[in-house]
A = this chain, B = another copy of it.
Amino acid sequence: MTKRTKKVTLYDTTLRDGTQAEDISLSVEDKVRIARALDELGIHYVEGGWPGSNPRDIEFFKAMSKEKLRTARLASFGSTRRPRTRPSVDANIRALLKSGTPAVTIFGKSWKLHVKKAIRVSLEENLEMIYDSVKYLKKRVDTVFYDAEHFFDGYREDPVYALKTLSAAEEAGADCLVLCDTNGGTLPFELARVVSEVLGRVKTPLGIHAHNDSETAVANTLAAVREGVRHVHGTINGFGERCGNANLCSIIPALKLKMGLDCLGTRQMRKLRETARFVYELSNLPHSKHQPYVGESAFAHKAGIHVSAVVKSPETYEHIRPELVGNHQRVLVSDLSGRSNILYKAREYGIDLESDSKVVRSVLRKLKNLEHQGFQYEGAEGSFELLVEEALGKREKCFKLLGFRVIDERKEEGKAPYSEATIMLEVNDVVEHTAAEGNGPVNALDKALRKALERFYPSLKEVELIDFKVRVLAGAKGTASRVRVLVESGDSTDKWGTVGVSENVIEASWQALVDSLEYKLYKDKKRGASPRG
């Protein structure tokens, strides 16, 4: 046997198989942002969508044609040609070509049950459909991946026929034959046996695509790699239909740190946690606390026996160094860990706190209190920086509010409601009273506030509201629920997030909006003092 390469290719399908999860729906803009993040992480192939089945995905590929990616190559996904149709006139195949991606992935049937019951063609015609489609695409596209759908179920029923479907794709010139455990029902030892048998029968490189229905998708993927597979499908956070796909956030560190294989650079792997959290945010899903490697609890230790050991030597209760995947050790409800957190963050913002421990304690106390109320500073570092400034006694208020009123009115059925805000505020003893209309109350209030302030602070004209997220925080039963608003703003050079929490969404939005504008002024001032910011 030849010595196998140590290099594993990562193929991400968050934007296609991931969006087949029940609770995930991404806009075109979300998908573009995730594609950029995957590229920065160092993923080799990004499967962007299924243009033949979904109009949104056609838009996505159009939008991506203007993007420059560093590492990643885009792939579009679709099925083999329909029965009794030439590839050149098959709508799905035409959509694949039209997407203009350097790689195309098409899936075909390996399982006789599916050939007979789902697509209802003869076994022979199924082989032709695979052959024709791969052949036609391979002449027109750089890289053609073949997904052997239900390969393991098919092999269980009839290994000879399952292998024939692979041979059809191989003969037509496919660059890689991806064995799919589509229903996720195969256990690792069975999967490893099948992979090793197939490796002896084909020359084309193999890939693995696992689903998590048996809670063994990560183990199945690693088992295939151990047998010699070097092309790995998965999604960020294991998003995917039913129980999800193989989770790249767990596969990548296992390959690199435990199996001695090469897939990402060491610096890239430190972005793993950040990427995982970014994808949760854009999907508007809560982060999974207990997620291996990247979860908030993955390296969290409760007080007592574990903590004292872990402080002496981390390897006593940690299977890897958390920093390698961008995570960190947490000691729960511990003043010590909290303090070092603040110091760490303050250092990040260029504020030297080390010498002044009174401020640190005051920030920590305030922070714990605010977090208990539902504030969260992970997406709102603008608000956090202002909090530190306040503790240092340096925060400057840029105006005094005298009052506001927002009216949403709808005069008749079918007509869109009309929102108007009036505001009165004071800057250096000068009173400004103005009004604005908007798409809804928060937008109107935002516009009125800026309009009032721009006279005094012209630089606020540059601020753009990029994103606005509202989450209801479930309280104890019976009490009213609180709302958290996260606002993302930007100007020509930076982006920053701010946060507000209240039982009233207008109040929570107001807090976040005011922080956003004050942060802009604070940032400009800081930059004025030191040109590098």
Residues of A within 8 A of B (CB): 19-23, 25, 27-30, 53-56, 79, 113-114, 117-118, 150, 182-185, 187-189, 212-216, 218-220, 222-223, 226, 241-244, 247, 250, 254, 258-259, 284, 289-293, 295-306, 308-309, 312-313, 315-320, 332, 334-336, 368, 371-372, 374, 376, 378-379, 400-413, 416-417, 419, 439-443, 467-477, 480-481, 483, 502-507, 510
Contacts and interface: CB of A to CB of B under 8 A. Distances in A.
Contact of A302 (B22, B320, B372): B22
A51 to B, nearest CB: 13
27 contacts: A22-B332, A25-B371, A54-B335, A55-B368, A118-B309, A150-B316, A182-B317, A183-B317, A187-B219, A188-B222, A188-B223, A213-B298, A214-B218, A241-B301, A241-B306, A243-B290, A243-B298, A284-B469, A402-B413, A404-B408, A408-B504, A410-B510, A416-B507, A417-B504, A417-B507, A419-B506, A469-B470
Contact of A291 (B243, B312, B413): B243
B243 A295 contact: yes
A233 to B, nearest CB: 16
Contacts of A30: 474
A407 B405 contact: yes
Contacts of A216: 216, 218-219, 222
A475 B466 CA distance: 10
A354 B34 CA distance: 40
A292 B241 contact: no
A114 B336 CA distance: 20
A406 B407 contact: yes
Contact of A117 (B114, B302, B312, B483): B312
Nearest to A107: B305
B215 A247 contact: yes
A302 B241 contact: yes
B409 A404 contact: yes
A14 to B, nearest CB: 14
